């Protein structure tokens, strides 16, 4: 009996080591549409918060909130983000199939998820600028690994948009040094409920 156990132990020791299980392993086989859908979830996760903030202070002429004259109109944001999220998802699928998504890209994703609540819900304009810079830095750091998978150019429009958004966020913080002031928005909210609005992260769906 002991001799048999020793033989089994020796046989097990001679086996080649098994690769460690990784969280990203199942993601390698995921199709591109799954990655695109996952990227889009980033946009719609905070949709109610963003829409309410748009109505109450960001896009409300009754408040004292100031934006630069060159700030894009509200209706531009949905198509811009639709295109960006599509390209982000496609780039992620290529990188995952090539050899897994790097950690810095996951860090960037988490920072991306934090920006909308920080700016729109908590109204931390200056902190949002810092987070914008972090988004640009982490994306630039992740680009070489995506370039290895021939996916770097897919993220170029997103990088350009982030750079522009960082400048816009900085100017907004400068124009509103006291932050976002509270105001009555009952009439504005009623008008929005009656006509419908389109938020930054809305994919063309009327509310």
Report H helices in 100-148.
Answer: 103-116, 125-148
- Low pLDDT (below 70) residues in the chain: 1-30, 182-207
pTM of the model: 0.73
Judged by DSSP in three states, 64 sits in coil
Fold of 2-195: Ferritin (1.20.1260)
pLDDT of 42: 75
pLDDT of 83: 92
pLDDT of 199: 44
Report H helices in 30-102.
Answer: 32-44, 47-53, 77-99
How far apart are the C-alpha atoms of 47 and 35, rounded to whole Å? 19
Q: What's the Rg (C-alpha) of the chain?
A: 23
Using a CB cutoff of 8 Å and minimum separation of 24, what contacts does 115-119 make?
Answer: 116/45, 116/46, 116/49, 116/50, 116/200, 116/201, 117/46, 117/49, 119/53, 119/169
The model's pLDDT over 45-60, given as tens digits with 9 standing for 90+, comes to 888 888 899 899 999 8
Tokens of 129: 């600028």
**Domain spans of the chain, in order of start:** 2-195
pLDDT of 51: 85
Tokens 């990188």 belong to which residue? 95
């Amino acid at each position: 009996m002991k001799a048999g156990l020793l033989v089994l132990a020796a046989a097990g020791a001679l086996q080649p080591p098994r690769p460690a299980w990784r969280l990203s392993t199942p993601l390698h086989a995921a199709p591109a549409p799954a990655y695109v859908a996952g990227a889009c979830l980033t946009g719609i996760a905070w949709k109610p918060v963003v829409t309410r903030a748009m109505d109450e202070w960001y896009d409300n002429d009754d408040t004292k909130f100031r934006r630069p004259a060159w700030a894009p109109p509200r209706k531009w944001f949905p198509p811009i983000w639709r295109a960006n999220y599509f390209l982000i998802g496609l780039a992620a699928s290529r990188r995952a199939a090539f050899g897994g998504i790097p950690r810095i890209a996951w860090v960037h994703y988490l920072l991306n998820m934090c920006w909308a609540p920080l700016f729109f819900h908590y109204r931390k304009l200056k902190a949002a600028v810092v987070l914008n810079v972090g988004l640009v830095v982490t994306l630039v750091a992740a680009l070489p690994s995506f370039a290895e998978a021939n996916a770097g150019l897919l993220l170029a429009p997103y990088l350009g948009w982030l750079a522009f958004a960082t400048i816009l966020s900085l100017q907004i913080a400068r124009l509103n040094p006291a932050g976002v002031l509270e105001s009555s928005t009952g009439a504005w909210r009623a008008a929005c409920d009656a006509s419908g609005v389109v938020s930054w992260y809305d994919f063309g769906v009327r509310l």
